[in-house]
Amino acid sequence: MYDINDSWLSQPPKYTTFRINSLKKFSFCQLEQVLKNQADELNISVLPNYYKLNPDCLILEQWSYNELNLEKTNNDAIVDALCAAAVLRGSHVFAPGVMGLPTNCKLNGKINIYGDLEGNCKRGLKVKYNGKKLYVGYGILKMLRHDLFDKEKSSGMAIQTLMPASKLPVVNETIYEEGVLLLQNLPSIVCGWVVNAKANEFILDMCAAPGNKTTHLAEMSNNQAKIIAIDKTSQKTEKIKQLCIKHEVQCVKIYTADSTKCCSKDSLGVDAGPPFPPNSFDKVLLDAPCSGLGQRPQLNNKITPKMLESYKFVQRKLLSTAVDLLKVGGKLIYSTCTVTVEENEGLVNWALEKYPSLKLIPSHPLMGGPGLPSCGLNDDQRLMVQRFRPEVDILRPTEAIYRDTIGFFIATFTKTANKDK
């Protein structure tokens, strides 16, 4: 339905979104001081808007277009496409992302930041790069060539970003005590609101790494839900463990396992770990592995049609297991960060046909727009799902902040006792 080169996918959102940890104390004071320091450095008199969208959601808007002029210098740093996208979202440049840097640069000097859009810049380039590139901002150089390219592995901040081309504030989680803030896309936060974890509920997060949604569920239940988080490799589950420690989350059990195989009638019980018995969980969150084509900005996407085709098979396997593990009357929340029909409305359609025990229900709170038309869902079903996209759909018009996000999809099912829906 969408070309990945569409302008909205190649541009960053106009907002930076953080999730606030409800288990810790939060105040606007640190944020305001950081923004004041940035304003002084940029000679700007008015701070960007910042506010809570919900008690656990912090929004920062762009700097004012009326006051701000982006500065350009004589020296250019070339960074890879992933790093360039991060700069446009308000990040500093770290050493592994730098591909090229002139020899005449001075430490703490101003420098332009350009993204290599085709991946053709050779690491360590000394001269001007003439390939396809995009200006993504400017900053202050914190590492010289010998620090970046003469070592086997370089690390640390290479460029302190002063102003991204997107004009988003340069703010990260480290301005607060560890675990207070988490940089998280708005639809991903909404997905947590849809799950709406409650005390004593048994909740399974099937593909949980890096743990952003897992910790959100724990926090909203005040550490009172009984959450199990699974992912396939020890590297991934270690990330979940570390995030839980940072966020002071204590109600999550973490297992390394293949979620397509985590249901068995021969299970020893939920407390014994995977595989689990059928009908074990009040809620199941399947934030499925997907093509990721909703991520913004998309500066250099190399996904092939064959790769695209492969995702639906693992999504279907995971959803089948989720259905088995869900209790009758329980909620199954399915989400992706992609824009393809086959992984979203198509998957919902497939699930409803494949499993007569599944019933589609509204994904409250409904912040995103409805599902796409002419994709297998009727209007009633389209209104039950959420698709985050820039267009206004008269079936359910949405606020601007929920249209200027990454591309995302959420659907919610319940499991009935019999096959009559």
d(CA 281, CA 203) in angstroms, rounded, equals 6
d(CA 384, CA 50) in angstroms, rounded, equals 31
Tell me, rounded to whole angstroms, the distance of Cα 292 from its chain centroid.
10
d(CA 131, CA 3) in angstroms, rounded, equals 23
Q: Compute the half-sphere exposure of residue 65: CA atoms within 13 Å on the CB side of its CA.
A: 2
Segments of 288-395 assigned E as strands: 326-336, 358-361, 386-388
Residue type, 359: K
Active-site annotation, residues: 337
Contacts of 308 (CB under 8 A, 6+ apart): 291, 340, 342
d(CA 410, CA 356) in angstroms, rounded, equals 20
User: Beta strand pairing status for 133-141 and 110-116?
Assistant: antiparallel
In this structure, the dihedral spanned by the alpha carbons of residues 356, 329, 378 and 396, taken in order and rounded to 10 degrees, is -170
Decide: 267 and 314 in contact? Cβ < 8 Å.
no
Q: Which residues share a beta bridge with 155?
A: none
Tokens of 406: 């990454």
d(CA 68, CA 163) in angstroms, rounded, equals 10
Q: Of 149, 167, 154, which is closest to residue 96 (Cα–Cα)?
A: 154
